[in-house]
Amino acid sequence: LSAANCKITEIGGVKIKNGEVLERFNSFVNPECSIPKEIVELTGITDEMVADADTIDKVLPRFFDFVGDRLLIAHNADFDTGFIRVAAKNLGLEFKNPYLDTLGLARALISTMKSYKLDRLAEYYKLGEFNHHRASDDAEMLANIFFKMLDQLQDADVSNFKDVEAEFNGNAD
């Protein structure tokens, strides 16, 4: 679970606009090494599933084409972007997309939760089950969670990042 020691096995995302998912990107990535047992248990992704997949040098440029220069929204964003940064650096690619981490936003919006994991937030917002720890499934669920968070922000009369900072300063990172 370290960007320095492990490699990307799947990458995915969704494009959203006006509360709807417009487009999906999902690709297995052949890490060119055996997937550690802990990762197989966590994600369900096995060596056999990625054996015929493209390697990161082919997949990451396609992902970058998909996201363009858009704002990325991720849960525990430093974890995911850490893997992307390491892979991009190794390939001589630039990764400079701004991103919003919904983990900090969740901590600010919902002070009563003990765990802010994605599946717990999906449960909190009553969004149903999903294939947790799988790239585009997580991305699509996060989009739905983010829509709920936007509703909460709107109810609090928060409409921009400056308002977020003013409203929640001290409540969360």
Q: Is 132 a catalytic residue?
A: no
Are 30 and 42 in contact, with CB atoms under 8 Å apart? no
Distance of alpha carbon 155 from its chain centroid, rounded?
A: 25
Return the H-helix or E-strand segment holding 90.
helix 77-91
Contact between 62 and 27 (Cβ < 8 Å) = yes
Dist. CA 43–CA 170, nearest whole Å: 34
Which of 24, 107, 132, 133 is labelled catalytic? 133
Q: Which residues pair with 118 in a beta bridge?
A: none
Active-site residues, by number, are: 133
